[in-house]
Protein backbone atom coordinates (compact mmCIF):
# COMPACT_ATOMS: atom_id res chain seq x y z
CA UNK A 1 0.00 0.00 0.00
CA UNK A 2 1.21 3.47 -0.91
CA UNK A 3 -0.46 6.41 0.81
CA UNK A 4 -0.25 9.89 -0.71
CA UNK A 5 -0.48 12.22 2.29
CA UNK A 6 -1.02 16.00 2.04
CA UNK A 7 0.82 18.18 4.54
CA UNK A 8 0.07 21.77 5.66
CA UNK A 9 0.95 24.63 3.32
CA UNK A 10 1.19 26.97 6.30
CA UNK A 11 -0.55 26.39 9.61
CA UNK A 12 0.42 23.04 11.16
CA UNK A 13 -3.15 22.68 12.44
CA UNK A 14 -4.22 22.04 8.84
CA UNK A 15 -2.86 18.49 9.18
CA UNK A 16 -5.82 16.10 9.24
CA UNK A 17 -6.29 13.48 11.95
CA UNK A 18 -6.33 10.76 9.32
CA UNK A 19 -3.04 11.96 7.83
CA UNK A 20 -1.41 11.73 11.26
CA UNK A 21 -2.81 8.21 11.78
CA UNK A 22 -1.55 7.03 8.38
CA UNK A 23 1.96 8.38 9.00
CA UNK A 24 2.05 6.75 12.42
CA UNK A 25 1.03 3.41 10.91
CA UNK A 26 3.45 3.49 7.96
CA UNK A 27 6.66 1.45 7.85
CA UNK A 28 8.46 4.05 5.76
CA UNK A 29 7.85 7.72 4.95
CA UNK A 30 9.12 9.16 1.67
CA UNK A 31 9.97 12.86 2.00
CA UNK A 32 10.81 15.54 -0.52
CA UNK A 33 13.21 17.01 2.07
CA UNK A 34 13.81 14.92 5.18
CA UNK A 35 14.84 17.99 7.19
CA UNK A 36 11.64 19.89 6.40
CA UNK A 37 9.47 16.83 6.96
CA UNK A 38 11.43 16.00 10.10
CA UNK A 39 10.12 19.13 11.80
CA UNK A 40 6.53 18.20 10.93
CA UNK A 41 6.94 14.61 12.10
CA UNK A 42 8.58 15.75 15.33
CA UNK A 43 5.70 18.16 15.97
CA UNK A 44 3.25 15.26 15.88
CA UNK A 45 5.50 12.79 17.69
CA UNK A 46 5.88 10.52 14.65
CA UNK A 47 9.07 8.46 14.75
CA UNK A 48 9.45 6.51 11.53
CA UNK A 49 12.20 5.78 9.03
CA UNK A 50 12.35 8.46 6.34
CA UNK A 51 13.83 8.29 2.84
CA UNK A 52 14.47 11.20 0.45
CA UNK A 53 12.25 11.09 -2.62
CA UNK A 54 12.47 14.14 -4.87
CA UNK A 55 12.70 15.25 -8.49
CA UNK A 56 16.44 14.62 -8.63
CA UNK A 57 16.37 10.97 -7.55
CA UNK A 58 12.87 9.67 -8.27
CA UNK A 59 13.82 8.08 -11.61
CA UNK A 60 16.67 6.18 -9.94
CA UNK A 61 14.78 4.72 -6.98
CA UNK A 62 11.19 4.33 -8.15
CA UNK A 63 11.52 0.66 -9.15
CA UNK A 64 13.21 -0.25 -5.86
CA UNK A 65 10.42 1.44 -3.94
CA UNK A 66 7.74 -0.42 -5.91
CA UNK A 67 9.56 -3.69 -5.20
CA UNK A 68 9.39 -2.90 -1.48
CA UNK A 69 5.71 -2.01 -1.75
CA UNK A 70 4.95 -5.22 -3.64
CA UNK A 71 6.74 -7.14 -0.90
CA UNK A 72 4.38 -5.72 1.73
CA UNK A 73 5.99 -2.50 2.96
CA UNK A 74 3.45 0.16 3.91
CA UNK A 75 4.72 3.55 2.65
CA UNK A 76 3.52 7.13 2.87
CA UNK A 77 4.67 9.87 0.50
CA UNK A 78 4.75 13.47 1.70
CA UNK A 79 6.26 16.63 0.25
CA UNK A 80 7.40 19.87 1.85
CA UNK A 81 3.88 21.30 1.67
CA UNK A 82 0.55 20.48 0.08
CA UNK A 83 -0.58 17.44 -1.86
CA UNK A 84 2.14 15.34 -3.53
CA UNK A 85 1.78 15.30 -7.31
CA UNK A 86 0.57 18.91 -7.56
CA UNK A 87 3.82 20.52 -8.83
CA UNK A 88 5.67 18.08 -6.54
CA UNK A 89 6.97 14.50 -6.97
CA UNK A 90 4.45 11.63 -6.94
CA UNK A 91 3.41 10.89 -10.53
CA UNK A 92 6.23 8.47 -11.41
CA UNK A 93 5.74 6.40 -8.28
CA UNK A 94 1.94 6.32 -8.58
CA UNK A 95 2.18 5.28 -12.24
CA UNK A 96 4.69 2.53 -11.42
CA UNK A 97 2.42 1.26 -8.64
CA UNK A 98 -0.56 1.21 -11.01
CA UNK A 99 1.44 -0.77 -13.55
CA UNK A 100 2.49 -3.32 -10.91
CA UNK A 101 -0.91 -3.64 -9.28
CA UNK A 102 0.16 -1.96 -6.02
CA UNK A 103 -2.72 -0.21 -4.29
CA UNK A 104 -2.48 3.58 -3.99
CA UNK A 105 -4.66 5.64 -1.67
CA UNK A 106 -4.59 9.45 -1.80
CA UNK A 107 -5.83 11.28 1.28
CA UNK A 108 -7.72 14.58 0.87
CA UNK A 109 -6.06 17.59 2.41
CA UNK A 110 -4.14 20.81 1.93
CA UNK A 111 -3.47 22.15 -1.58
CA UNK A 112 -2.41 25.78 -2.01
CA UNK A 113 -4.30 26.61 -5.19
CA UNK A 114 -7.80 25.67 -3.93
CA UNK A 115 -8.13 28.37 -1.22
CA UNK A 116 -6.44 30.89 -3.54
CA UNK A 117 -8.91 30.12 -6.33
CA UNK A 118 -11.96 30.29 -4.06
CA UNK A 119 -10.76 33.56 -2.45
CA UNK A 120 -9.95 35.24 -5.77
CA UNK A 121 -13.45 36.41 -6.61
CA UNK A 122 -12.84 35.09 -10.13
CA UNK A 123 -15.17 32.38 -11.53
CA UNK A 124 -14.00 28.96 -10.36
CA UNK A 125 -16.66 26.69 -11.86
CA UNK A 126 -14.27 25.98 -14.74
CA UNK A 127 -10.51 26.40 -14.44
CA UNK A 128 -7.19 25.02 -15.65
CA UNK A 129 -4.17 24.44 -13.44
CA UNK A 130 -0.90 25.44 -15.13
CA UNK A 131 1.45 25.22 -12.14
CA UNK A 132 4.83 26.88 -12.74
CA UNK A 133 5.31 28.37 -16.19
CA UNK A 134 8.39 27.24 -18.15
CA UNK A 135 11.32 29.53 -17.43
CA UNK A 136 12.58 29.67 -21.02
CA UNK A 137 11.81 26.97 -23.58
CA UNK A 138 8.17 27.03 -24.62
CA UNK A 139 7.24 29.98 -22.39
CA UNK A 140 6.22 32.35 -25.21
CA UNK A 141 4.33 29.63 -27.06
CA UNK A 142 2.40 28.71 -23.94
CA UNK A 143 1.61 32.35 -23.17
CA UNK A 144 0.15 32.79 -26.66
CA UNK A 145 -2.02 29.70 -26.18
CA UNK A 146 -3.20 30.80 -22.74
CA UNK A 147 -4.16 34.24 -24.09
CA UNK A 148 -7.06 32.43 -25.82
CA UNK A 149 -8.00 30.30 -22.78
CA UNK A 150 -11.57 31.00 -21.65
CA UNK A 151 -11.34 29.17 -18.31
CA UNK A 152 -9.88 30.72 -15.18
CA UNK A 153 -6.13 30.00 -15.04
CA UNK A 154 -4.18 28.98 -11.94
CA UNK A 155 -0.42 29.46 -11.68
CA UNK A 156 2.27 28.94 -9.07
CA UNK A 157 5.04 31.53 -9.09
CA UNK A 158 8.11 32.42 -7.08
CA UNK A 159 8.28 35.82 -5.37
CA UNK A 160 11.39 36.64 -7.39
CA UNK A 161 9.58 36.18 -10.72
CA UNK A 162 6.06 37.41 -9.96
CA UNK A 163 6.48 41.01 -11.14
CA UNK A 164 8.15 39.89 -14.37
CA UNK A 165 5.44 37.31 -15.03
CA UNK A 166 2.68 39.87 -14.46
CA UNK A 167 4.42 42.24 -16.90
CA UNK A 168 4.54 39.49 -19.54
CA UNK A 169 0.88 38.66 -18.97
CA UNK A 170 -0.08 42.29 -19.54
CA UNK A 171 1.49 41.99 -22.98
CA UNK A 172 -0.23 38.69 -23.84
CA UNK A 173 -3.56 38.93 -21.98
CA UNK A 174 -4.16 42.69 -21.84
CA UNK A 175 -3.69 45.14 -18.98
CA UNK A 176 -7.33 45.02 -17.83
CA UNK A 177 -7.59 41.23 -17.41
CA UNK A 178 -8.79 40.53 -13.82
CA UNK A 179 -6.40 38.60 -11.60
CA UNK A 180 -5.67 37.78 -7.98
CA UNK A 181 -2.47 37.03 -6.07
CA UNK A 182 -2.64 34.99 -2.88
CA UNK A 183 0.47 34.99 -0.74
CA UNK A 184 1.51 32.99 2.33
CA UNK A 185 -1.68 30.91 2.38
CA UNK A 186 -2.62 29.65 5.85
CA UNK A 187 0.31 31.53 7.41
CA UNK A 188 0.45 34.53 9.74
CA UNK A 189 0.80 37.13 6.97
CA UNK A 190 -1.65 35.62 4.48
CA UNK A 191 -2.74 38.13 1.86
CA UNK A 192 -4.93 38.20 -1.23
CA UNK A 193 -4.63 41.18 -3.57
CA UNK A 194 -7.14 41.53 -6.42
CA UNK A 195 -7.36 43.81 -9.43
CA UNK A 196 -6.45 44.05 -13.09
CA UNK A 197 -3.08 42.70 -14.25
CA UNK A 198 -1.92 46.32 -14.50
CA UNK A 199 -3.04 47.17 -10.95
CA UNK A 200 -1.61 44.04 -9.38
CA UNK A 201 1.68 44.47 -11.24
CA UNK A 202 1.97 48.08 -10.03
CA UNK A 203 1.18 47.06 -6.45
CA UNK A 204 3.86 44.38 -6.19
CA UNK A 205 6.40 46.37 -8.16
CA UNK A 206 6.15 49.00 -5.44
CA UNK A 207 5.49 46.86 -2.35
CA UNK A 208 7.82 43.97 -3.14
CA UNK A 209 6.96 40.29 -2.90
CA UNK A 210 7.60 37.71 -0.20
CA UNK A 211 6.36 34.19 0.41
CA UNK A 212 4.75 31.44 -1.64
CA UNK A 213 2.55 32.73 -4.48
CA UNK A 214 -0.60 31.52 -6.21
CA UNK A 215 -1.68 33.64 -9.19
CA UNK A 216 -5.23 33.44 -10.51
CA UNK A 217 -6.06 35.00 -13.91
CA UNK A 218 -9.54 35.22 -15.41
CA UNK A 219 -10.00 33.59 -18.80
CA UNK A 220 -10.66 35.43 -22.02
CA UNK A 221 -14.20 36.78 -22.32
Q: How confident is the model at residue 217 (pLDDT cuts 50, 70, 90)?
A: very high
pLDDT at residue 84, as a whole number:
96
The residue among 80, 106, 132 that closes a domain is 106
Q: Are residues 148 and 210 in the same domain?
A: yes
What average pLDDT does the segment 168-178 reach? 98
Q: Are residues 131 and 96 in the same domain?
A: no
Q: Are residues 78 and 117 in the same domain?
A: no
Q: Are residues 122 and 147 in the same domain?
A: yes
The residue among 87, 106, 125 that closes a domain is 106
The residue among 106, 131, 157 that closes a domain is 106
- The percent of residues in the chain predicted with pLDDT above 90, rounded, is 98
pLDDT at residue 129, as a whole number:
97
What average pLDDT does the segment 109-129 reach? 96
pLDDT at residue 168, as a whole number:
97
pLDDT at residue 76, as a whole number:
98
Q: Are residues 117 and 101 in the same domain?
A: no
Q: Are residues 64 and 125 in the same domain?
A: no
Q: Using CA atoms in the order 101, 110, 128, 77, what is the torsion angle rounded to 10 degrees?
A: -30
pLDDT at residue 140, as a whole number:
95
CA distance 189 to 210: 10
Which residue range forms the structural domain that includes residue 200? 113-217
Q: Are residues 101 and 117 in the same domain?
A: no
CA distance 121 to 206: 23
Q: Are residues 166 and 151 in the same domain?
A: yes
pLDDT at residue 69, as a whole number:
97
CA distance 60 to 67: 13
pLDDT at residue 131, as a whole number:
96
Q: Are residues 123 and 97 in the same domain?
A: no
**pLDDT tens-digit readout, 17-43:** 999 999 999 999 999 999 999 999 999
Q: What CATH number did the domain enclosing 38 receive?
A: 3.40.1010.10
Q: Are residues 63 and 101 in the same domain?
A: yes
Per the prediction, the chain carries an average pLDDT of 96
Let me know the angle formed at the C-alpha of 123 by 121 and 127, rounded to the nearest 5 degrees: 125
Q: Are residues 142 and 196 in the same domain?
A: yes
Q: What CATH number did the domain enclosing 205 receive?
A: 3.30.950.10
Q: Are residues 94 and 117 in the same domain?
A: no
The total number of structural domains that make up the chain = 2
Contact 17, 108 (CB under 8 A): no
pLDDT at residue 36, as a whole number:
94
Amino acid sequence: MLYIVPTPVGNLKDMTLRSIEVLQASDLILCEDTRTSGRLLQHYGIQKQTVSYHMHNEHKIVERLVDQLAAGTKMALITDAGTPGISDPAFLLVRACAQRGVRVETLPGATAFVPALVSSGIPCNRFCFEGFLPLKKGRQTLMKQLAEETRTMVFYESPMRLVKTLQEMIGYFGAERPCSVSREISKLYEETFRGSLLEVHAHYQEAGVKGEIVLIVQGKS
